[in-house]
Structure 1
Amino acid sequence: MWHSLPDEYVRAQLAVGAFVAFGVARVVAAVLGAQHGWRISAVTRAFIVLSAVFCLPQLLDVLVAADSYCAFVELQGKAAGCALALFCAPIVSHRLGYE
């Protein structure tokens, strides 16, 4: 018997996964950037590009396929998680003293 998860669960799982992955990676990149003298704006731009690349497969699926509702749900979750991580991670990095 086939059961599928409700859309809210899929969105939430992908959002939390992207939030944790990009949030932790952004804080680690800020630490490395502080040690190596990287500009924080370059680190931020790199993570914006990485989040766009992370969401690209679902975005292409939504644009190419006419009946890609599942891809749209996945895109919403990934985009929300990436946006939250790109907003919250600099705050955490600043509080830790790396920005």
Structure 2
Amino acid sequence: MWHTLPDEYVRAQLAVGSLVALGVARVVAAGIGAQHGWRIAAVTRWFIGAAVVFCLPQLLEVIFAADSHTAFVELQGKIIGCAVALFCAPIVSHRLGYE
């Protein structure tokens, strides 16, 4: 017998995963960018693009698949995590002195 996880668990797990993945990568990129003289606006644009690419498989499945409830739940989790990461990572980078 197969058991499925509730939508809240899947959504929360993907939100935390994308928050950690993009948040840590954004802070590391800000540190590297500070050493190499990159503009912080360019780093921010790159990570907005990375968030779109990260969510693209579920987005395409939601758009083109007929029965895509699971993909929609996964997309919601990823979007929430990416949004929080893109909001909080610049604050952490600033506190660390990279911005």
Q: Give the TM-score, by structure 2 length.
A: 0.99
Residue equivalent to 1:4: 4
Residue equivalent to 1:71: 71
Q: Quote the Cα distance in structure 2 between the aligned partners of 1:71 and 1:87.
A: 24
Q: SS where residue 4 of structure 2 aligns?
A: coil
Residue equivalent to 2:96: 96
Residue equivalent to 1:58: 58
* TM-superposition CA deviations, 1:66-87 (whole Å, max 9, x none): 2100000000000000000000
Q: Quote the Cα distance in structure 2 between the aligned partners of 1:98 and 1:92.
A: 9
Residue equivalent to 2:46: 46
Q: Quote the Cα distance in structure 1 between the aligned partners of 2:73 and 2:11.
A: 6
Q: Tell whether 2:23 aligns with 1:26.
A: no
Q: Give the TM-score, by structure 1 length.
A: 0.99
List gaps (5 residues or longer) in structure 2. none
Q: Quote the Cα distance in structure 1 between the aligned partners of 2:10 and 2:91.
A: 27
Residue equivalent to 1:13: 13
* TM-superposition CA deviations, 1:35-77 (whole Å, max 9, x none): 0000000000000000000000000000001210000000000
Post-superposition, which runs of at least 4 consecutive aligned residues in structure 1 deviate over 4 A?
Answer: none
Q: Quote the Cα distance in structure 2 between the aligned partners of 1:93 and 1:33.
A: 11
- The number of aligned residues is 99
List gaps (5 residues or longer) in structure 1. none
Q: Quote the Cα distance in structure 1 between the aligned partners of 2:92 and 2:5.
A: 33
* TM-superposition CA deviations, 1:22-45 (whole Å, max 9, x none): 000000000000000000000000
Q: SS where residue 52 of structure 1 aligns?
A: helix
